[in-house]
Amino acid sequence: MAAQQSQYYELYRGSTIGDCLIDTIDELINDSRIEPQLAMKILSNFDKTIADVLAEKVKARLTFKGHLETYRFCDDVWTFLVKDVKFKTDTSTEFTADKVKIVSCNSKRPGEV
Protein backbone atom coordinates (compact mmCIF):
# COMPACT_ATOMS: atom_id res chain seq x y z
CA MET A 1 0.00 0.00 0.00
CA ALA A 2 1.28 3.41 -0.97
CA ALA A 3 0.70 4.86 2.46
CA GLN A 4 3.18 2.49 4.04
CA GLN A 5 5.97 3.23 1.68
CA SER A 6 8.59 5.83 2.12
CA GLN A 7 8.12 7.14 -1.41
CA TYR A 8 4.87 8.34 -2.85
CA TYR A 9 3.56 8.81 -6.33
CA GLU A 10 3.38 12.25 -7.75
CA LEU A 11 0.39 11.04 -9.66
CA TYR A 12 -2.20 13.02 -7.73
CA ARG A 13 -0.56 16.32 -8.48
CA GLY A 14 -2.49 16.24 -11.72
CA SER A 15 -5.82 16.18 -9.89
CA THR A 16 -7.89 19.27 -9.32
CA ILE A 17 -6.76 19.68 -5.75
CA GLY A 18 -3.15 19.17 -6.79
CA ASP A 19 -3.55 21.64 -9.61
CA CYS A 20 -4.92 24.25 -7.25
CA LEU A 21 -2.05 23.67 -4.86
CA ILE A 22 0.48 24.07 -7.64
CA ASP A 23 -1.12 27.29 -8.83
CA THR A 24 -1.07 28.65 -5.31
CA ILE A 25 2.54 27.68 -4.81
CA ASP A 26 3.45 29.26 -8.12
CA GLU A 27 1.86 32.46 -6.98
CA LEU A 28 3.74 32.39 -3.68
CA ILE A 29 7.00 31.82 -5.49
CA ASN A 30 6.28 34.68 -7.85
CA ASP A 31 5.61 36.87 -4.84
CA SER A 32 8.96 35.69 -3.44
CA ARG A 33 7.22 34.47 -0.33
CA ILE A 34 8.61 30.97 -0.52
CA GLU A 35 11.57 29.29 -2.15
CA PRO A 36 11.18 26.61 -4.82
CA GLN A 37 12.88 24.13 -2.49
CA LEU A 38 10.16 24.67 0.07
CA ALA A 39 7.60 24.33 -2.69
CA MET A 40 8.99 20.91 -3.56
CA LYS A 41 8.69 19.91 0.08
CA ILE A 42 5.10 21.05 0.18
CA LEU A 43 4.36 19.03 -2.92
CA SER A 44 5.94 15.93 -1.49
CA ASN A 45 3.89 16.46 1.64
CA PHE A 46 0.88 16.63 -0.63
CA ASP A 47 1.87 13.37 -2.34
CA LYS A 48 2.03 11.62 0.98
CA THR A 49 -1.06 13.21 2.47
CA ILE A 50 -3.42 12.60 -0.41
CA ALA A 51 -2.30 8.99 -0.70
CA ASP A 52 -2.88 8.50 3.02
CA VAL A 53 -6.23 10.23 3.06
CA LEU A 54 -7.51 8.38 0.01
CA ALA A 55 -6.44 5.10 1.55
CA GLU A 56 -7.74 5.71 5.03
CA LYS A 57 -10.65 8.06 4.84
CA VAL A 58 -12.39 7.13 1.61
CA LYS A 59 -14.60 4.09 1.65
CA ALA A 60 -16.55 4.55 -1.53
CA ARG A 61 -16.63 1.98 -4.27
CA LEU A 62 -17.01 2.61 -7.94
CA THR A 63 -17.67 0.33 -10.86
CA PHE A 64 -17.60 1.34 -14.46
CA LYS A 65 -17.89 -0.10 -17.91
CA GLY A 66 -16.85 1.24 -21.23
CA HIS A 67 -15.21 0.90 -24.58
CA LEU A 68 -11.48 0.66 -24.32
CA GLU A 69 -9.99 2.67 -27.11
CA THR A 70 -6.33 2.75 -26.14
CA TYR A 71 -4.35 0.88 -23.55
CA ARG A 72 -0.77 1.33 -22.65
CA PHE A 73 1.49 -0.21 -20.10
CA CYS A 74 4.83 1.32 -19.61
CA ASP A 75 7.14 1.42 -16.64
CA ASP A 76 4.50 -0.05 -14.43
CA VAL A 77 1.95 2.59 -15.34
CA TRP A 78 -1.29 1.68 -17.03
CA THR A 79 -2.99 4.27 -19.14
CA PHE A 80 -6.41 3.63 -20.57
CA LEU A 81 -8.48 5.75 -22.84
CA VAL A 82 -12.06 4.61 -22.39
CA LYS A 83 -15.06 5.82 -24.34
CA ASP A 84 -18.76 5.81 -23.48
CA VAL A 85 -18.14 5.06 -19.87
CA LYS A 86 -20.94 4.25 -17.46
CA PHE A 87 -20.11 4.74 -13.83
CA LYS A 88 -22.01 3.29 -10.95
CA THR A 89 -21.36 4.07 -7.31
CA ASP A 90 -22.16 1.84 -4.38
CA THR A 91 -25.21 3.97 -3.68
CA SER A 92 -26.50 3.13 -7.18
CA THR A 93 -25.88 6.60 -8.45
CA GLU A 94 -25.10 6.43 -12.12
CA PHE A 95 -23.42 8.82 -14.44
CA THR A 96 -21.76 8.66 -17.80
CA ALA A 97 -18.85 10.19 -19.64
CA ASP A 98 -17.99 10.24 -23.32
CA LYS A 99 -14.31 9.82 -22.78
CA VAL A 100 -12.19 9.15 -19.73
CA LYS A 101 -8.48 8.84 -19.42
CA ILE A 102 -7.31 6.56 -16.65
CA VAL A 103 -3.79 6.85 -15.39
CA SER A 104 -2.97 4.19 -12.88
CA CYS A 105 0.20 3.36 -11.01
CA ASN A 106 0.96 0.07 -9.37
CA SER A 107 -0.40 -0.06 -5.86
CA LYS A 108 2.34 -2.48 -4.88
CA ARG A 109 5.55 -0.75 -5.49
CA PRO A 110 8.76 -2.70 -5.18
CA GLY A 111 10.37 -1.89 -1.89
CA GLU A 112 13.66 -0.81 -3.34
CA VAL A 113 13.88 2.24 -5.54
Partner 1 sequence: MSKSSVPDVYAKVIKDVCEASRVDFEEGGVDLNALEMLKQGWQKRLSAEHIATFPWDPKPEPASKPEPTPVSSSAKPVHTLPSNGATNTPPSSTSTPGPHVKQETQQYATQPPLQANHAGKRYSPTQPVGGAERAASLLQQQYGEQAAAQVAQLQQQNQSVVAPAAFAGSQRQQTPYELQLQQQQQRQQQLEYQRRIQQEYQQRQQQPHQPHIKQEFKEEAKEEFKHEDSTYGYPQSYNVNTIKNSQVDGPADAREEYEAEIAHRRTLVAQHRPASDRLIRDQVLASQQTLEAGGLMMPLGSHRSSRSKRTVAQRQAASSSLSRAQGDAPGDEEEDEDAINSDLDDPDELDGANEGDDDVTNVMLCTYDKVQRVKNKWKCTLKDGVLKVDGAEFVFHKGQGEFEW
Restricted to residues 46-75, the positions that interact with partner 1 (CB under 8 A) are 46-55, 57-75
Please identify which residue in 4, 94, 95, 111 interacts with partner 1, judged by CB under 8 A.
Answer: 95
Instruction: Find the shortest distance in angstroms from Cβ 21 to partner 1.
Output: 5
User: Phi and psi dihedrals of 103, rounded to 5?
Assistant: -115, 125
**Is 78 one of the binding residues for partner 1 (CB under 8 A)?**
yes
3-state secondary structure of 85: strand
**Contacting partner 1 within 24-43 (CB under 8 A):** 24-31, 33-43
**Is 20 one of the binding residues for partner 1 (CB under 8 A)?**
yes
Site for partner 1 (CB under 8 A): how many residues? 94
**Is 79 one of the binding residues for partner 1 (CB under 8 A)?**
yes
List Cβ neighbours of 63 (8 Å cut-off, separation of 6 or more).
87, 88
Please identify which residue in 4, 82, 94, 111 interacts with partner 1, judged by CB under 8 A.
Answer: 82
Residue 95: count of CB within 10 angstroms of its CB: 10
Return the closest-CA partner of residue 72 out of 63, 81, 61: 81
Nearest-angstrom CA–CA distance, 102 and 11? 11
Instruction: Find the shortest distance in angstroms from Cβ 18 to partner 1.
Output: 8
